Structure 1
């Protein structure tokens, strides 16, 4: 990545913190953004805090999709940013929206970056601290106003007393006027006494009935109406942090926490519902539920609440204990409620399901009013009937991203897959068939009876017909070196393809591997890294050179593969 002259100068400026008092006074607002980016890149938390506290624009966005090779912001820089936002509340800063959506990813990246859970906890602490600071400031303002009012009252009393003494000392004073003045003062004192007694009585009644104190109510109303900065972020909540998140979302103060994507782990349906009740109805775009024992009944109970969010377009359910392999009383009724609940999500565009064990029930899950653009069905034990329905459904022609990893494909299902790819040939951009048992031999062994058999013979032409396919993942499939070379030759003929996650050929593994290994065996079996890996890499590189495809990235690194890194 070639840096511009502005970026290079910005890095030099923020590198010396001792000079910041000089340039902070005169830096134009157009240079705040490159200076802040340079401070994040160079890990200068002090510069980040000073720039954020004086931010001249209404919106500050940190995050978003990172380019390949670009690291996530440092933890210290994020903490300095949050502290600066709280400090800037009392400096009449122009900032009104702090957007941290997309920062960071699920893992938080590598190195000393801040993970999603840590960022959520830090944001909630910032909101609560800002509320406490706002209450202290309001109490100080009220005390200052009370003292000013008391001083004015004392001055009025002194003037009134001086005027009365002056009239009494006058030799020709009018006695009638003095009597009138005394009568007026007596009436004022009487009115003050009545008001004082009414106020005391009202406080006693409030204490007896449990009504909150008037001053406290005024503070709450002021905090609720005086939101200074709206904080948008993707929240990551689990069993250890949900109480803190609940407190921050229900807190009224100068900072208002808003959620774009909500990820929850290991919490119950009731807690998820309580969190959703606190979120604004217009802001939530997606929810990701993981490792929570929802069961079919719990998910059916949750879906009606999700339908109240009109912009919700993404639903992810991973390892939520939805199992239809076992027969339970009321199972059919629960499935019907589940299907009806999903049908109420009118704007759903992305559906991701992992390890739900619902064989033969794909039709009920995909009876959605709007065709999907992203569909991920991992470890679902899909049956031939499921794949046949998917290939003929109204989703087939609109799918942009499809992940069928770890669903076993054979002669009975490949025809449906080919039909599906044919339907999505003009829309499919990302496809993953990792761990699906694809092979170039049907009967395996030392002497294969058939090479390049049904799997690749049918699948490769269908893959080649995908006109806009950009990433293809086929890792953990038992393919020989001959099958891999055929796959790469097909890939270089696809002009739109930018990234291929290819499977290690069987020849690259150490001896002892079964004839038709499973994906878990391929994942755990050691590779012959001394000679086989380098030989395979050289052969694939030669194919790229001969085809002049320098824009195609080949990798077998499953752990670091990222389809979103393709620009």
Structure 2
């Protein structure tokens, strides 16, 4: 490969690199104004002789590393990849993007990790070495390779992550410890993990083996972690190798019982930078005493004291939440932006505690979908809406069993939610008159664009849930007429009703968008 003396400090002879035929053309051009084909030809020429390509890395311009790496990756030139990792002139190597959409050859992946191995054991680091992060996530730094390979006209400003405080590797001289001149900083390997049975393929196993052997200098970091069905002993084994303070987004979608949740809880407490938590389907265990149950629950809820960055909390189908919502929320350290408590049993005391919690004062998203509120006084719900009225944007009261008299109490508070954009309360037994009353209260909310409401009670022919589509069509016409009269014709109101056969929702706008059960064969 060829480059100008301004870039390298000296001109390497073209014959040495085997590219004399294009030297005169390349010197007069910038890498970014040269034809893309010229860069490709140069890379292909170098890779014909891997020893020659490796020898050229010391003087290769920084701009040519990405296209040469891509060519070596696609051509599975393992030795070149291994050497390029050790000379990588950027702080980050976004390998995951190259792995996206293809079945990576194991030997190619091994070559990259083996290059890290060599890098981490060298006494003297390569002069140009800057690598701090190996990013294996497939949806990050999407533009890096296309920009550097010349597919875009402008230079790519690659973000250089702020380096952690470097540790220094010490050596002994005459029995005394002195610091080496080169600072020693562990390399981070960024991954998104989905832990489920049978998900650990050969590539992942090889990576975990490397991290296990080099844990002090190779840090496995994971911003997004999803846990599905996997034995707890396997989950614990993997989490012991992950830098738990790197996790920002955690989803636990398992059918655990309390003892299993208790075993996981200490790991949750170490995720001090966690911003989003989703936990679902924790079931009761008949084999434990009430005292032990309380101990397990306290062990779980106390972990929230160690999560100062938590902004979004989603809990679904937690059997133990009734009567204990305050125990959970009082351990949450800061106001939440999102709170979703769905398909859980709550008491009126839980709703009262929720309305009084300092954690709800800045909510932008609130969902109580599937929480039965028929027997709950509307006043705590009213207080909850007032508390979050300045920030609330999305509100979901689907399938809560809210009755006419409850909704009427809530209307003034709903009209104060000035930032509301979406309201959904499908699956509640509401009459047409209350629905029209609701429309009049909401019409002044300038940000509100979508309302999903239940099919009114008057639209049913019988107690079995048979719809009278003529009545429903009349209602839609009436609502559209009101929206136009009140100056909000673009506000979308959609009614929905569960299909009596499959349970899926059927929407009406104004004609029914039917589920497959009603489609002709």
**Bin of the TM-score, shorter chain as denominator length:** 0.5 to 0.7
SS in 1 for 2:223: strand
Contact 2:355 2:387 in 1 (8 A): yes
2:56 aligned residue: none
Q: Does 1:404 align with 2:368?
A: yes
Aligned equivalent of 2:241, options 274, 278, 281: 278
Distance 1:231 1:526, change over 3 A: farther
Distance 1:491 1:427, change over 3 A: same
Distance 1:299 1:436, change over 3 A: same
Give per-residue Cα distances to partners, 1:478-498, cap 9 Å, x unaligned. 112222222223222211212
Take 2:107 and 2:423, find their aligned partners in 1: how far apart are those partners? Answer: 47
Q: What's the CA shift for 1:547?
A: 2.4
Instruction: Calculate the TM-score normalised by the size of structure 2.
Output: 0.59
1:160-309 to 2 correspondences below 5 Å: 229-232=134-137, 234-242=192-200, 246-247=204-205, 249-250=207-208, 252=210, 259-293=222-256, 295-309=257-271
Take 1:28 and 1:527, find their aligned partners in 2: how far apart are those partners? Answer: 65
SS in 2 for 1:380: coil
Structure 1: state its 5+ residue gaps. Answer: 1-24, 33-55, 60-82, 102-118, 139-215, 441-453, 514-524, 562-567
Q: Does 1:549 align with 2:454?
A: no
1:310 aligned residue: 272
- Greater fraction strand: 2
Q: What's the CA shift for 1:318?
A: 0.9
1:315-334 to 2 correspondences below 5 Å: 315-322=277-284, 328-334=290-296
Take 1:27 and 1:478, find their aligned partners in 2: how far apart are those partners? Answer: 67
Q: Does 1:361 align with 2:319?
A: no
SS in 2 for 1:291: strand
Take 2:287 and 2:441, find their aligned partners in 1: how far apart are those partners? Answer: 39
Alignment length (residue pairs): 368
Distance 1:458 1:360, change over 3 A: same
Distance 1:496 1:248, change over 3 A: farther
Q: What's the CA shift for 1:355?
A: 0.9
SS in 1 for 2:359: coil
Contact 1:324 1:357 in 2 (8 A): no
Q: Quick check: which has more Rg, 1 or 2? A: 1
SS in 2 for 1:302: helix
1:10-21 to 2 correspondences below 5 Å: none
1:87 aligned residue: 74
Moved more, 376-385 or 125-134: 125-134
Contact 1:376 1:403 in 2 (8 A): yes
Distance 1:266 1:500, change over 3 A: same
Q: What's the CA shift for 1:526?
A: 5.6
Structure 2: state its 5+ residue gaps. Answer: 1-28, 37-62, 123-128, 140-191, 212-217, 498-503, 507-521
1:371 aligned residue: 335
- Greater fraction helix: 1
Q: Does 1:479 align with 2:457?
A: no
Q: What's the CA shift for 1:282?
A: 4.8
Q: What's the CA shift for 1:324?
A: 9.7
Instruction: Calculate the TM-score normalised by the size of structure 1.
Output: 0.55
Distance 1:307 1:333, change over 3 A: closer
2:20 aligned residue: none
Distance 1:256 1:225, change over 3 A: farther
SS in 2 for 1:531: helix
Contact 1:378 1:404 in 2 (8 A): yes
Contact 2:106 2:203 in 1 (8 A): no
